[in-house]
Amino acid sequence: MKVSFNRAAMAEALGLLTGVVPSRTPKPILRCVQIVAEEKAVRINATDLEVGISYLVAEVQVESEGEVIVPADRLSAIVRESVDEVLLLEARDGTCEIRGSDSHFTIYGQEPGQYPPVPVFDGKADLEIGLNVLQGGIEQCLFATARESSRYAINGVLWEIQDKKLMLVATDGRRLARCRVTLGSAPEKAIANMIVPAKTMGLLDKLGGNEKDSVAVKLLDNQIVISCANVVISSNLVEGNFPKYEDIIPTDYDKKLRLPTEATLSAVRRSALLTSEESRGIKLSIGQKKLVFSCRSPEAGDAQIEMVIDYRGEPIDIGFNPQFLMDVLRVVRTPEFDFELGQPDRPGLIKSGTTFLYVLMPINLG
């Protein structure tokens, strides 16, 4: 195998592929990437046996075809630190040599033919969606997924498909984000709800592309295969039942106000400056024409931020985790958002336009 490749193109590919490679695994081959030189392109594969990526690099000149399996971290470091625009890669018998104008690296890899198969996209798509549309939806919900929860179903994002609409829902048990995006076309057949792992959604969010790129999705048993431009991402789906999230979205609230997004984010951020490990919450005191954000920490001090609002309802004091408020306000895309409340022990509801909502459990400030 002998290939000259554009260093920047290879670096971009490895930047995505190394997001799949496990840092710790009892199978050393999974810490490697598989490089296959074809007639006019090079395909690089990576997998952790649950999520896989197949990346086609076209900015290459293939002198002889072949395959090599090399440690991902070492190859990525060499390509990243190189000063050459073009690098030459030669491989035989599991050994890979990389040459630049002033450099020569030899990497010992694994025997060819041993790498686990990584699915490619084959056949007609079950649904299609614009890349920028999907990534916009991912950014508005991925942050709310659980991290390492024993309830595996909330370690992913729920996909609900109805006609030409895709609903993305994520929760960690203390908050819930739901956004609705438009598909490129309605699926020809009914598609059951599925839970896509957070890791897979994060990889989709990192895909580079332009506004015209489209994502094709195919479902195979308990697996999803996603193709966009020169990248194919395959992933097992999360098993289990996603919580009945509709039951926790409040529909009977009488305390409603509209707030400016940037100013509210600033107020939350400033009012949280004096929180501590023992007192991590902030209090929102909503009264006639005034909203006060405050925190009180016995060891650090007090903070109080005031905002003029248009509100004529009943006064209410309620506590929230400021980080959870900042997370959502960073992804609200409208200049203003609707904030709805019930009693101090019931969750807050944030709405942005008709496509995004966020439910946040309150905390007891003592």
Contact present, 99 and 87 (Cβ < 8 Å): yes
Q: Does residue 150 surpass a pLDDT of 70?
A: no
Is the pLDDT reported for residue 216 higher than 70?
yes
How far is 153 from 22, CA to CA, in rounded Å? 22
The C-alpha atoms of residue 209 and residue 215 are separated, in whole angstroms, by 10
Judgement on whether residues 241 and 339 belong to the same structural domain of the protein: no
d(CA 266, CA 339): 16
Residue 121 lies in a domain: no
Would you say residue 115 lies in a domain?
no
Establish how many alpha carbons lie within 13 A of residue 327's alpha carbon, considering only the half-sphere containing its beta carbon. 19
| Helix (H), strand (E), coil (C) string for 140-166 | CCHHHCCCCCCCHHHHEEEEEEECCEE
pTM of the model: 0.91
Residue 195 lies in a domain: yes
Domain-terminating residue out of 56, 79, 108: 108
Q: CA nearest 30: which of 115, 93, 108, 106? A: 115
Q: What is the C-alpha separation between 296 and 283, in angstroms, rounded? A: 9
Domain residue limits at 60: 2-108
Percentage of the chain modeled with pLDDT above 90 = 82
- 117 lies in a domain? no
Strand locations in 65-122 (E): 66-71, 86-92, 95-99, 104-108
Domain boundary among 209, 228, 245: 245
* pLDDT for position 186: 83
Task: Please report, for the domain that includes residue 21, its CATH number.
Answer: 3.10.150.10
Same domain assignment for residues 225 and 327 = no
Look at residue 212 in the predicted model and tell me its pLDDT.
Answer: 85
Determine the 3-state secondary structure of 341 from DSSP. strand
Sign of the alpha-carbon torsion through 176, 199, 5, 212: negative
Question: Starting at the edge strand that comes first in sequence, how are the strands of the sheet with 66-71 ordered?
Answer: 66-71, 32-37, 42-47, 51-57, 231-236, 223-228, 214-220, 127-130
Model pLDDT, residue 44 = 97
| Number of folded domains that form the chain | 3
Residue 73 located in a structural domain: yes
The confidence band for 151, taking pLDDT boundaries of 50, 70 and 90, is: confident
Same domain? For 236 and 255 the reply is no
Same domain, 191 and 300: no
Contact 57, 41 (CB under 8 A): yes
- Asked if residue 153 and residue 56 are part of one domain, the reply reads no
pLDDT of residue 271: 95
Per-residue pLDDT reduced to its tens digit, 75-129: 999 999 999 999 999 999 889 999 999 999 999 999 888 999 999 998 899 999 9
Residue 342 within a domain: yes
